Structure 1
Amino acid sequence: MATHSIGTIQTEGETKWLVLERQLSGSKEATWRAITDPALLDRFIGRWEGDPSSGEVSFFMTAEGSTEASTYRVLECSPTEKLIVESDFMGTVWHLQLTVQDNGGASSLRFAQRIDDGITLSDVGPGWEYYLDRLVAVESGESVDSIVWDDYYPSAAYQALQG
């Protein structure tokens, strides 16, 4: 099932982003629910707890078996369209943007991570590919069991992209 697509580096002003895109068969609203509803999110990556209107939530990477939470700050949320969050991860700020667009009854998801000092593409790129492919699988009614981490990491393509 793995698509093994490779993200691209896009520059906006002085900022570089790793951008990955996926097409999903569900509507824009269904895709939004899949990436924001804790129960649906838990099917492929993890769940969050807390009150997003407070400006932050606790996120648990349950797909990796983690019981430790990371705090994610909600910077922008435009329901069914855009979610921007950031978190401190091992001394580095992770700034993530998820944008959902209608695609004629289906939807497209654009996932972007800001590439700051301390972000290694060969580490984060394969991980996001893995989780986004798991999202596509669950939204297509398929099992995530066929999506195997070892098929993603290490990735020579991401090592080359890092330069």
Structure 2
Amino acid sequence: MDNDEIRLELRREYPDAIEDVWSALTESDRTARWIGTWTGEPGVGNTIMLTMTAEEGSEPGPAVIRECDPPKRLAMDLHNTDEPTWRVELTLTPHGDGTVLDFVHRMPRPDWDTSDILKGWHFYLDRLGAALVGEPVPEWDTYTPPSLEA
């Protein structure tokens, strides 16, 4: 954390090739399996509408694509009602036959309690991992992130 932002960083290793992980992060029919669907025209500077389907009653929200370098990097600004914009950065690196995902979430207010937000990103990245291997994805009501298990 610096004076202007909180920076949450998570790293995940997936056994899948980088192109498959990229596809799961960027194709709406695949993102639907773990985080939600999106509509719109992809491309740097464009706005897509993201509906987070794992969250009951979620309305579509705008996400502006800031960087897109397939299959290595994607950065988006997520616009939340009555909240500051969140910058989400995804960097993929090949690792053997699999892929390492470095996830960064930047928030502009250092006075926030980030525990629920951090749990949420653990939840979604674990859902991504399950979707990649064809396993059932975790449900929020019974989910405990790895770092919070006893």
The residue matched to 1:85 in structure 2 has which SS? strand
Report deviation, 1:91.
Answer: 2.0
Report deviation, 1:123.
Answer: 2.0
Pick from 10, 28, 40 the counterpart of residue 18 of structure 2.
28
Pick from 92, 100, 106 the counterpart of residue 100 of structure 1.
92
Structure with greater helix share of residues: 1
Letter in 2 for 1:82: R
Cα contact 2:22–2:72 (8 A) shared by 1: yes
CA deviation profile, 1:73-114 (whole Å, cap 9, x unmatched): 011100100001002213221110011110111001111101
Report deviation, 1:140.
Answer: 1.5
Counterparts of 1:54-65 in structure 2, within 5 Å, are: 55-65=46-56
Cα distance between partner residues in 2 of 1:67 and 1:133:
20
**Could you list the runs of 5+ residues in structure 2 that have no partner in the other structure?**
none
Equivalences, count: 145
Counterparts of 1:11-50 in structure 2, within 5 Å, are: 16-50=6-40
Q: How many percent of aligned residue pairs carry the same amino acid?
A: 32
Alignment partner, residue 85 of structure 1: 76
Letter in 1 for 2:103: F
Alignment partner, residue 6 of structure 1: none
Task: Name the TM-score, length of structure 2 as normaliser.
Answer: 0.85
Cα distance between partner residues in 2 of 1:84 and 1:100:
12
1:134 to 2:124 alignment: no
**Could you list the runs of 5+ residues in structure 1 that have no partner in the other structure?**
1-10, 158-163
Cα distance between partner residues in 2 of 1:127 and 1:140:
20
Task: Name the TM-score, length of structure 1 as normaliser.
Answer: 0.79
